[in-house]
């Protein structure tokens, strides 16, 4: 057992030294996770607010779920097990035949697992990655088109690892039939992918559904699908199960319509809305990829997310992860846990050690929130100025990645309200084996072209000067410090320079969302 595990046993163990994980989790809930609110009463910690913004039982469900809490995603990991191969509908953006280890997008996995293999894999990952708090089933088909495998997996995992939250992602067609089963297995988080609430729009996204033993096409298919999705959402809300809605933004087909979708799901009690960009390239072999349907630009996506953000939480940190993804959002450790490797692993499930590790994570999270709070004073000088900055990070809310090693940059919006996470951009590695690649630098600049600065732990002279030429300030003086607190300090300095006339504030252009570099959907 780790030192922390021993401390925990002393703190929470009974006379036999046995630790009740629920006691520990309760203590963690009481130890408030995110204590700030930004201007306007909106929680500053992202997608799911903080403990003061919601009932304690809801906070308990979201505080360490990396998808339901933006702040949690810097610290906690999720994993998916690919136990659900079949699907009961066809989406024009999906092709599950395509299976490549270098490819990452919805529907793609490298291996399919039986429920028993999945349970072993969960224990192996939980033992290796103690901050892995959520197990999701998200494909590669639809979990509810494979109900026996899905619920058997949940049953096995809830027996062996009861501290792990269970999560499910579905297209919603079969959802009303399975809501009671979902409640029975205490699956507290369900995602429904809803791309339309108008069958006229839906017919351009879904060529067919399989319904009551036959294939239904066109408007009729979309009508059945939307009715089932909304009914399923209402049934989840009635049972107090948190529902997240994923929507794929398809320019020219459903982009402005997603505002209607947002209203429809909000009125039925959805907790969170996640609008994701269409991933579409000819080599994916999807209908949209082959017919040249484009995805949105970064600014188009952000504008739509901003338009939908009112009383409802918008998720902006989704990585469109693979159906077998493992790790923090934005990293993929699935290759460490192939079936061959996990079958050879000696797995010891150390619940106390995991809980102790997570307590340490909570402390780190608190320190980050406190650091940000300390810097918030004096931002009024920003007036209407809002700008974006990119950050190279390996997680933990710290600027701790070398520019050349970054596979993605996180994007924060700086304004009079402080620093707010608004998205991320996947990029090609600039630095492979220590050598800079000009083309790769070009794609990095395109991906963060709408940002005024990029915060890194370290950067070489060449990329530094090219970034400066592109009008992006490379900032390396906050290496290994907290992202938000550092960004606010930099922003105050920027505002002071604007006020003194040393620089003139100017808007920047749009940026590209890299197709095919995304991870797979839940």
Residue ranges binding ligand CLF (CB under 6 A): 67, 78, 80, 134, 136, 138, 167, 169, 189, 191, 244, 274, 318-321, 329, 521-522
Q: Is 515 in the site for ligand SF4 (CB under 6 A)?
A: no
- Interface residues for ligand SF4 in 143-182 (CB under 6 A)? 171
Partner that binds at residue 134, options ligand CLF, ligand SF4, none, CB closer than 5 to 8 Å by kind: ligand CLF
Among 28, 77, 81, 94, binds ligand SF4 (CB under 6 A): 94
Partner that binds at residue 67, options ligand CLF, ligand SF4, none, CB closer than 5 to 8 Å by kind: ligand CLF
Q: Which is nearer to ligand SF4, 127 or 153 (CB)?
A: 153
Helix (H) or strand (E) run with residue 262 in it: helix 258-267
Min. distance of Cβ 266 from ligand CLF in angstroms? 18
Q: Is 522 in the site for ligand SF4 (CB under 6 A)?
A: no
Q: How far is CA 29 from CA 76, 359, 518, in A?
A: 15, 10, 33
Partner that binds at residue 19, options ligand SF4, ligand CLF, none, CB closer than 5 to 8 Å by kind: none
**Which residue lies nearest ligand CLF, judged by its C-beta?**
522
Among 54, 89, 182, 352, binds ligand SF4 (CB under 6 A): 89
From the list 319, 301, 330, 320, the residue with the least C-alpha distance to 388 is 301
Residue 423, helix vs strand vs coil: strand
Min. distance of Cβ 250 from ligand CLF in angstroms? 17
Nearest-angstrom CA–CA distance, 129 and 123: 10
Q: Which is nearer to ligand SF4, 305 or 520 (CB)?
A: 520
Residues with Cβ within 8 Å of 205's Cβ and at least 6 positions away in sequence, in order, are: 91, 92, 93, 195, 196, 222, 248, 250, 253, 254
Min. distance of Cβ 388 from ligand CLF in angstroms? 21
- Interface residues for ligand SF4 in 115-144 (CB under 6 A)? 139, 141-142
Encoding tokens for residue 510?
Answer: 């749009």
Q: Which is nearer to ligand SF4, 96 or 407 (CB)?
A: 96
Beta bridge pairs of residue 418: 415
Min. distance of Cβ 107 from ligand SF4 in angstroms? 5
Among 8, 43, 83, 91, binds ligand SF4 (CB under 6 A): 91
Backbone conformation region of residue 23, classed left if phi is above 0, alpha if psi is from -120 to 50, else beta: alpha
For the sheet containing 387-391, what is the strand order? 418-426, 408-415, 387-391, 451-455, 473-475
Partner that binds at residue 222, options ligand SF4, ligand CLF, none, CB closer than 5 to 8 Å by kind: none
Asked if 133 and 78 count as a contact pair (C-beta separation under 8 A), the reply is: yes
Beta bridge pairs of residue 208: 90, 217
Min. distance of Cβ 139 from ligand CLF in angstroms? 9
If you search the block for the tokens 């050690």, which residue do you land on? 353
From the list 178, 196, 195, the residue with the least C-alpha distance to 187 is 178
Q: Which is nearer to ligand SF4, 90 or 449 (CB)?
A: 90
């Amino acid at each position: 057992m780790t030192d922390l595990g021993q401390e925990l046993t002393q703190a929470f163990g009974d006379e036999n030294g046995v630790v009740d994980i629920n006691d520990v989790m309760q203590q963690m809930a009481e130890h408030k996770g995110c204590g700030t609110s930004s201007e306007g009463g909106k929680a500053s910690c992202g997608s799911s607010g903080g403990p003061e913004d919601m009932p304690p039982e809801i906070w308990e469900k979201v505080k360490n779920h990396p998808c339901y809490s933006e702040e949690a995603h810097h610290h906690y990991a999720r994993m998916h097990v690919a136990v659900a191969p079949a699907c009961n509908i066809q989406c024009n953006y999906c092709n599950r035949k395509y299976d490549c280890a270098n490819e990452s997008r919805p529907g793609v996995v490298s291996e399919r697992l039986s429920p028993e293999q999945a349970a072993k894999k969960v224990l192996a990952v939980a033992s290796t990655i103690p901050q892995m708090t959520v197990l999701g089933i998200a494909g590669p088909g639809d979990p509810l088109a494979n109900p026996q495998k899905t619920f058997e997996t949940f049953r096995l995992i809830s027996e062996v690892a009861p501290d792990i939250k269970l999560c499910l992602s579905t297209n919603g067609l079969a959802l009303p039939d399975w809501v009671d089963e979902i409640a029975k297995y205490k699956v507290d988080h369900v995602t429904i992918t809803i791309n339309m609430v108008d069958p006229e729009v839906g017919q351009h996204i879904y060529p067919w559904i399989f319904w009551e033993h036959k294939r239904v096409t066109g408007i009729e298919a979309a009508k059945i699908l939307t009715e089932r999705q909304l009914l399923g959402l209402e049934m989840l809300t009635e049972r107090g199960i948190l529902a997240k809605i994923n929507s794929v933004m398809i320019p020219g087909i459903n982009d402005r319509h997603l505002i209607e979708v947002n209203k429809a799901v909000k009125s039925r009690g959805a907790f969170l809305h996640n609008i994701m960009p269409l991933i579409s390239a000819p080599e994916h072999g999807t209908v949209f990829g082959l017919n040249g349907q484009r995805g949105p630009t970064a600014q188009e996506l952000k504008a739509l997310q901003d338009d939908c953000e009112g009383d409802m939480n918008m998720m902006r940190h989704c990585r469109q992860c693979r159906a077998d993804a493992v790790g923090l959002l934005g990293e993929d450790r699935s290759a460490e846990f192939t079936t061959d490797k996990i079958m050879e692993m000696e797995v010891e499930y150390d619940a106390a050690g995991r809980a102790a590790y997570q307590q340490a994570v909570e402390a780190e999270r608190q320190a980050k929130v406190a650091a940000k709070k300390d810097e918030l004073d004096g931002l009024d000088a920003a007036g209407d100025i809002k700008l974006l900055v990119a950050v190279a990070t390996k997680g933990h809310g710290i600027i701790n990645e070398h520019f050349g090693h970054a596979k993605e940059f996180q994007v924060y919006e700086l304004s009079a309200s402080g620093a707010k996470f608004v998205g991320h951009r996947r990029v090609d590695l600039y630095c492979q084996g220590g050598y800079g690649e000009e083309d790769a630098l070009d794609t990095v600049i395109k991906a963060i072209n709408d940002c005024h600065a990029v915060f890194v732990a370290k950067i070489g002279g060449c990329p530094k000067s090219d970034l400066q030429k592109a009008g992006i300030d490379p900032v390396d003086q906050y290496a290994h410090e907290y992202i938000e607190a550092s960004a606010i300090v930099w922003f105050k300095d920027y505002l002071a320079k604007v006020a003194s006339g040393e620089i003139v504030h100017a808007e920047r252009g749009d940026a590209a969302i890299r197709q095919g570099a995304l991870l797979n959907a839940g």
